[in-house]
């Protein structure tokens, strides 16, 4: 299925995602973590739906974000606890992404970042 977002230029022309919307992906756990960054999960899902429209470098950056978040489950879970427990998985992406019919897709289970990461037992 083809997905689209409201943007003036295609995602592959955005350049680095790490100097843009994911510039602070690795600040989870920082006492100064700013919940104004609360659209990270939305943006991460939007980019996953658009993955085939990203450059290989941008795709690698998403993989880097994912690897960092997975490597820090406690901090990740704390940073996004509100979204993990209160997000409406059917409508949460409204205004971020739509399918070819103009419908907002539900968040699929493959978008693991919308659920807490299970921490390994010590």
| pLDDT tens track for 64-100 | 999 999 999 999 999 899 999 999 999 999 999 999 9
| Residue 122 in domain | no
Full residue range of the structural domain in which residue 94 is found: 3-10+35-114
How many domains is the chain partitioned into structurally?
A: 1
HSE-CB of 37 using CA atoms within 13 angstroms: 18
Residue whose token pair is 């510039």: 23
Q: What is the mean pLDDT of the chain?
A: 89
Q: Quick check: is 21 in a domain?
A: no
Window from 9-13, 40-44, 67-71, 105-109 with minimum mean pLDDT: 9-13
Is the CB of residue 105 less than 8 Å from the CB of residue 49? yes
| Mean pLDDT for the stretch of residues 46-58 | 96
Distance CA 111, CA 16 (A): 21
Query: Does 54 fall in a domain?
Result: yes
In a domain, 26, yes or no: no
């Amino acid at each position: 299925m083809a997905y689209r977002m409201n943007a003036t230029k295609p995602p592959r022309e955005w350049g680095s995602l790490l100097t843009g919307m994911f510039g602070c992906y690795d600040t989870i756990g920082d006492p100064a973590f700013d919940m104004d960054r609360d659209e990270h999960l939305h943006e991460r899902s939007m980019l996953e739906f658009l993955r085939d429209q990203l450059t290989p470098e941008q795709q690698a950056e998403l993989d880097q974000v994912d690897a960092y978040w997975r490597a820090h489950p406690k901090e990740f879970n704390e940073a996004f606890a509100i979204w993990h427990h209160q997000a409406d998985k059917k409508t949460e992406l409204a205004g971020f992404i739509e399918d070819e019919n103009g419908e907002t897709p539900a968040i699929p289970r493959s978008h693991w970042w919308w659920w807490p990461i299970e921490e390994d037992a010590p």
